[in-house]
Amino acid sequence: MLAMALHLREQGLSLRDMAAKLVITTGKKKGQHPSPATVMRMLRDHNEQTTAAAGT
């Protein structure tokens, strides 16, 4: 789901539009769409990890 979210972000989609296109693939909410807040959190965590890895 992260890879697809990154691809959609490159296309300039809003968080709401990204959330509508993404589908949760595992867990209790499998088959449902994530909330825009979840998408934002996922992208923010990814950005923090990549900047931390680049700073090492």
Q: What is the DSSP string of 20-40?
A: HH----SSTTTTSPPPHHHHH
Residue whose structure tokens are 């090492």: 56
**Tens-place pLDDT, residues 16-50:** 999 999 999 999 999 999 999 999 999 999 999 99
What pLDDT score does 41 carry?
97
What pLDDT score does 54 carry?
86
What pLDDT score does 56 carry?
64
